[in-house]
Structure 1
Amino acid sequence: MAEFLSLKEAVSKYIHDGDTVAMEGFTHLIPVAAGHEVIRQEKRDLTLIRMTPDLVYDQMIGAGCAKKLIFSWGGNPGVGSLHRLRDAVEKNWPNKLEILEHSHAAMANAYEAGAAGLPLAVLRGYVGSDLPKVNPQIRFIECPFTGERLAAIPSIRPDVAVIHAQRADRQGNVLIEGIIGIQKEAVLAAKRSIVTVEEIVDDLGASVNACVLPSWVVSAIAEVPGGARPSYTLGYYDRDNAFYKDWDAIARDRDTFLAWLKHNVIEKGAAS
């Protein structure tokens, strides 16, 4: 059953050095506040999983939290590269970062397989792709029924899944609205999970066919208004497009990045 904790308590209790951590949210509901708390607590040697690593993973990588990244697309949406990610891969700063790249389809299938408790995901894909040459996790098998050659990859079963959502009720059930992405499967696939929410309410107000995570699949819930900024949360606030543009200049230079991190994440967290 989900327990209600502060974000600081939840990260301290459920994310440990060396863990495999999936922080999901597609376009909106990105768990940025949780990522910042991971930085403040100086978690190290994490294997980070995310279908679309963007600003929050750029910040966590630049802060030295990660040793490995498993992903299917990485960049600053609509702007360009993730400069802290590139610096880690190309120049080992602040430390060496191992990467494993997949396709979106493969990652989605791997999450679904993990949620189902399966050891691998099987899909039609990677035909004509060079990714199998650089990713040893991509293998090919023969269908025992048709003889068709299919791609196979390990299922994703993280130690911890972290997502952001609109609301949780006082029984610990969580409502996710808008673009769902792979959040539900990430939580179901993980050993432990942290969900940050905009608010805790008496009644979720869930509509027909709404995505509701029952309390028994969630480890901890933290009420964190604005927890997805600068991404958006449907029904609560819009995307801060200006910050995504500003991040390109902030992240290009190591000293500028470190100054931003100190002022906006470390010191801000200490003051709260």
Structure 2
Amino acid sequence: MSVFGLAFMQRAVLAGCIVGALCALVGVFVVLKRLSFMGAGISHAAFGGVALGYVLGIHPVASSFVFCLLVSLGIAALAKHRRLKEDTLVGIVFASTMALGAFLIGVVKIRNVDLFGYLFGNILAITREDLLLALVLGGVLLFFLFLFYKEFVMITLDPEGGKASGISVEAFSYLLVALVASVVVVATRVVGIVLASALLVLPAATALQRARTIPQAMLFALVDGVAISLAGLFLAYFLDAPAGATIVLLGTGVFLGVFISSSSPRRG
């Protein structure tokens, strides 16, 4: 039987395409607005959300989505007061939410949690429920991303100019952070909590090395994100290696190759 004839592989391919595309498109704004570390903090917060889901009897993906959304908006709100820098807040959340997850799993004695799968992903175990959730979240995310494309570009490149033109920079900044949280939650099911932020950043960072405009960067990132996800998936399948780690390592290799080639002095 062909590898494409396997039901779990078909679901994995679809999940890889969806997650690769979503991470790439949102990742362009994440990299330009320097929210990469926040993406890492949100992805680690998902561990606390997963543990809460098991404790409360809620689907872990749904609980991690709500938890990450609240955490990301909380970070953005607290950062506005400027008593603490954003990276400090993210660092606190990074550690405390992971600790919360470990605490709940240890105290409540949750036995049926696939910790390795949540931490490092298991794209080959994607279910129809996971795919449906990814499609719904992906559709909502794309709707907001393209509906408010001009506003996101403005708050990313020229927030002061955005304020002058009547754009609610603070509101759209919160919305962008919420979109980042949504993407991270979807990505954690594919590459895991530890590696989700890497998938959010790598395709965008690679695309921005050679793109001259934001639309061009989004197109390049979209192609890179999907290609890296699928190539990493098949490479992992044939090497019998962890899919999430393989996808991220492949993406890192592509980024380094593009970075080195774009940094090299041209002759002639």
Instruction: Sort the TM-score into its range (normalised by shorter chain).
Output: under 0.3
TM-score, normalised relative to structure 1 = 0.28
Task: Give TM-score, length-normalised by structure 2.
Answer: 0.28
Give the structure, 1 or 2, with the largest relative contact order (CA under 8 Å, sep 6 or more). Answer: 2
* Higher share in strand: 1
